[in-house]
Amino acid sequence: MAAMPLALGAPSHHGSSSFSSTVSSVRRAVPVPEARRTSSNARHRVSTVGCTATATATTTTLSEVDTVGHRAAPRGFNLTSSNIKMKATVTVHMKSFWSGLLEITSLSDKADWLYHWTKDLLVREWLQLELVSELNPEHPISSYAKYSGTGADEEFYTYEATFTVPASFCPIGAVRVVNEHYSEMFLGEVRIFPADQSPLSASATLFHCNSWIHPSHISPDKPRTFFPVTYSYLPSKTPGGMKKLRHSELLDIRGNGTDERKPHDRIYDYDVYNDLGNKRPVLGGEKRPYPRRCRTGRPHYTQGQDTDWETRATDKIYVPRDEAFTEIKEAAFLRELVLSVGHSLCTLKFKDMEDHKSQSFPSLAAIDALYEVDFRNQPSQSQPHTHAEIAGVMIGFVVDELERLLHGAHLPEEICRFLKFETPEIHDKDKFAWFRDEEFARETLAGMNPLSIQLVTELPIVSEVDGPSLITKELIEEQINGVMTAEEAMRRKKLFMLDYHDMFLPFVHKVRMLEDTTLYGSRTLFFLTGDGTLRPIAIELTRPESQDHGRRSSPSPTKDEWRQVFTPGSSVTESWLWQLAKSHVLAHDTGYHQLVSHWLRTHCCVEPYIIAANRQLSRMHPIYQLLHPHFRYTMEINAQARQMLIDAGGIIESAFSPGRYCMELSSVAYDKFWRFDMEALPEDLIRRGMAVRGEDGKLELAIEDYPYANDGLMVWDAIKQWASDYVKYYYPGAKDIIDDHELQGWWTEVRTKGHEDKKDEPWWPVLDSHESLVQVLATIMWVTSAHHAAVNFGQYPLAGYIPNRPTTTRKNMPPEMGGPDSKEMRAFLEEPERVLLDTFPSQYQSVIVMLILNLLSSHSSDEEYMGTYQELVWRKEEKIKEAFDRFKSKMVDIAAQIDKANMDPKLKNRNGPGVVPYVLLRPSNGHPEDEKTVMGLGIPYSISI
């Protein structure tokens, strides 16, 4: 007999994998075989188990199925006697003995674990299977599955069960599983087939469970129910015997809205953001509208407590069990996190952290020394050259401490390099790119936040908060050398703007009361040149009137509003002031990117779609199967973000503008600007004036060379066509859409519960036609895949070099602080570079930002890319398979077009000396591990970290 699985007595085996970036679905908890990552034809690896046909007096065949959506009669057996023998193979992954033991803290619980583990090892009957008939579900047939060997994938073990099925049983509509082992196990797949046939035969009924099954002693009355993966059923097409099971599964997932959730629960419910920390307002409700998150049932924090953050922040936040990272994903995440933390290890070594958090870099060369670039950027010997001065406090502290422990021995170069970060693409291409106006402007179209640039449609520019801008027509005409009037430039769509004036202005005084930070409202004006590139021509910074303008420790009298327009002047002083003004704008843009373009629009607003889909759409529903790949890992990533990124005192508040008010800013943006009907790419471009729709329905871009829009529209069209083909197959007419109570229930819940604060808005689409359903589905698919890829995977390549994308600013503009004789202006005139370095994030903030951006921008070993994988049910339906193949072919073609565009010297926003090619929306060619693109491997299906 084969040996017992090592999963019960030794650590599980994990192959090498690099950390990813994407959010979860039920299937996703499975460690991903190599075949799944490289081929659209082998997503699910089959664990083939040799089986000897059991001799019976009966001959059994399972007929093939009719078209899923239009199946006239249930699939059945051709029976020649009253009973037949059936076999089942089950693939299972279990936590190792050691991992289970280490999760337990008390000695008594460890002893209990050891006792039950030994008992389970002797009994060996760990899985009970129940076959459920499509026509008579009240009388299932049960059997125990026993260990039979290791599967094709080393992470999984195979179990077998034998059933005697009566002739009256009819087709198998579901399988119910009870885990009688003491610990949870991961159920991969179940195959049920006639005993005299192969498990790979066409007669086999396949269940891709891909779900954690908790032990029966935790929940003895609730076996898990799984439905075959080879068929999709609209509610009206569901076999009669399965309707009750289908509905009861949804009821179990919804829960009752009470109690604190346990780690093994599969409950999806809604709650407001009331767990970000003490002294932080609740997000969600009339006062501060916000999308809803998954309800955990944890006690809400108390506003009156004195601590600055929630003491429970270190506890793991509940997500439904199948939404959590796989063990491989978790291991890869932790490995990447540990490696990243290694770069900034010294942050844990300071005896008094507060003494170092505000320390600036001593020089630009000290910033360069953070990266592993063969030490090409080391300062000359005439400059300061101690470790602390060259590499900054972070790396220098670690190196000095290690060398002290080694009694003065110098560390090998390899160890020093381990402590450095990878050189970001922008710095590797052109180490001076961050200083150039051309790059500053180019990144508004092809950077990590290409979603804020907008067309100027009115002059003069007027604020809803404080009136007209100081960027006058005369100033515009002076900056464009009088080649045309300001009105003509606006009429010819030559003027564009980054507008963070009204959004940031209400937060200016509150932020300035915080230590070591500042804030302005800002506007940045660009002029479209003849070669298709933007040229920045003016930056307006505003500090509103204040009655307590000074720091908390040194309040000053009432001060009038201060605002000034900076231009790329010809003098040295004007040039340095212009560079400082750009730093403030970049901090605004980077903060807005992280809080709105990234967190709010992709992570936060998507979570309600996932919760509603699980509560209202059966796993058998074709729309659930279409959206499911796009939801992978999202809820787990969002939970981890609430734990270490957006929580009170977390990384976002510590290192991004506007500090502790970051989440309030996100709420304001949701309230004022977020609309579902504007989240589709074409509508977003039109809203910002970056495109108009012609009479033929096609979009005409205001800037012809706008890489995000150029590439994005090709991807959008491909996604929408795939969604359209899919919907047409399952919904022949509008009535089918209207009568689908699960579909309508999902969309109603998205609007009324997930986005409750906007439930009465008139712009919500109504699912009453093919066009409206396709638009809704394509929008969700776009946001979770391409939109997220565009704002996520370029973060470290572009913002990992702090001068290129500072995340916050710490010093006011020198002119604000007084005239030419003021202390601040004298310091600026004497050492402008020192003022710039003091304006940038501190060393502590910079290293924390680099650490997290490196983590967020990474791709995962188990990532699934758009067009490279299709669900098994899609391959079973010929028309759906053909539609997916067209989608896949289109994505390959788009990749080729993007590669061609990136090599076109006429497209100066994506090609030229030192220019980072735009590949954030470049699809994979089907073999992402072979891709050698600059910033990504392709477009993942779902949101990645």
Q: Would you please indicate which residues are annotated as catalytic (active-site) residues?
A: 598, 603, 788, 792, 945
Residue 639: both structure tokens together: 């939970």
Cβ contact 617:721 at 8 Å? no
Nearest-angstrom CA–CA distance, 173 and 225: 10
Nearest-angstrom CA–CA distance, 652 and 848: 10
Nearest-angstrom CA–CA distance, 405 and 412: 14
Contacts of 196 (CB under 8 A, 6+ apart): 53, 54, 55, 56, 60, 85
Nearest-angstrom CA–CA distance, 165 and 130: 11
Decide: residue 350, CB within 10 A, 0-12 exposed, 13-18 middle, 19+ buried.
middle
Cβ contact 261:577 at 8 Å? no
The distance from CA 889 to its chain's CA centroid, rounded to whole angstroms, is 25
Contacts of 102 (CB under 8 A, 6+ apart): none
Nearest-angstrom CA–CA distance, 790 and 802: 20
* Amino acid letter for position 678: M
Nearest-angstrom CA–CA distance, 165 and 548: 82
| Helix or strand (DSSP H, E) at 161 | strand 157-166
Nearest-angstrom CA–CA distance, 648 and 629: 32
Nearest-angstrom CA–CA distance, 237 and 66: 12
> What 3-state class would DSSP assign to 339?
helix
> What contacts 24+ positions apart, CB below 8 Å, involve 897-903?
897/714, 898/711, 898/922, 901/707, 901/710, 901/711
Nearest-angstrom CA–CA distance, 30 and 149: 19
C-alpha dihedral, 931 to 935 to 938 to 943, nearest 10°: 140
Nearest-angstrom CA–CA distance, 802 and 57: 76
Nearest-angstrom CA–CA distance, 449 and 444: 6
**Which candidate, 858, 788, 774, 323, places its Cα nearest to that of 601?**
788
Nearest-angstrom CA–CA distance, 579 and 591: 18
Nearest-angstrom CA–CA distance, 212 and 321: 7
